[in-house]
Amino acid sequence: MKIDPNSKIDLSAQIAKAIRDGIIAGTLPVDERLPSEAELADQFAVSRPTVREALKRLAAQSLIRTQRGATGGAFVNRLRFEDAYGQHVTTSTLLLSMNSVSFETACEARFALERACAPLSAKRRTADHLATMRAETHRQAQPGLSDEAFCASDVAFHRALVDAAGNPVLSYQLAGAVEAMQPLMNMITFTARNRATIVEIHTEIANALDVHNACTTDALLCQLADYTESLGKRVFATHNAAKNDGSAEA
């Protein structure tokens, strides 16, 4: 890969791209050691700080790891689902907060995705997944629970539901839906929601999964989706009413 010093693009971005392309193409296999920063600087005919900026870009994407010392250097990282998970959640959260996505759109996407793995979860759920879901449901029924803790427990419940599908690819792809959208919805609807209703649906979902009943699970998720959407509608109606009252008084 050639580097063009006259390009509009930063040298460090070009170098990062060159190395990234090598990783994607498989030219640089996992755990391969890259040349030292000094050697890379020579190869690309740039200074060491520029090379370092390029390497930091790759490190930010978990594509490489660096190690100091005699046998240290930058190594191609095996990208793990856990590593990608966090980034996916962060990105999804920012996408939602920065792009004025309507509540309905987010809600629709979130439940469509969760319903996608419900049949698999009904088939494959282990005792462990069921135990987690029931423990979280039980926690959600505690009277003194803070809204934050309720939300966290809610996320844990749905995450267990997704993980029950036993498909790591699905779990990863759904991370954004569960861990980014669920808190968003909790934040919007927590004033209007009835915890008992949610706890009841959660309990029934666990029961349906227990007996491997995919149909009922799906129906319950639809019920939860409808309830969430109705909450959202109510909250926004209240907001708008208050806003109109305010402008009328002013």
Contact 121, 107 (CB under 8 A): no
Residue 117 touches which of DNA, a second copy, none (Cβ within 5-8 Å per kind)? a second copy
Among 2, 25, 26, 68, binds DNA (CB under 7 A): 68
Give the gyration radius of the chain's Cα atoms. Answer: 24
Give residue 237's identity as a one-letter amino acid code: A
Distances in Å between the Cα of 92 and the Cα atoms of 89, 107, 113, 219 are 5, 14, 14, 27
Residue with tokens 């803790």: 149
Q: Does 77 bind DNA (CB under 7 A)?
A: no
Question: Per CB under 7 A, does 28 bind DNA?
Answer: no
48 lines the binding site for DNA (CB under 7 A): yes
| Nearest residue (CB) to DNA, 75 versus 172 | 75
**Using rule CB under 7 A, residue 70 touches DNA:** yes
Q: In the complex with a second copy, which residue's Cβ is closer, 76 or 199?
A: 76
Asked if 43 interacts with DNA (CB under 7 A), we say: no
Using CB under 7 A, pick the residue from 16, 19, 23, 55 that binds DNA.
55
73 has which bridge partners? 67
| Residues that contact a second copy, how many (by CB under 8 A) | 60
Distance CA 97, CA 239 (A): 18
Our finding on whether 201 is near a second copy (CB under 8 A) is no
Q: How far apart are CA 24 and CA 186, in angstroms?
A: 38
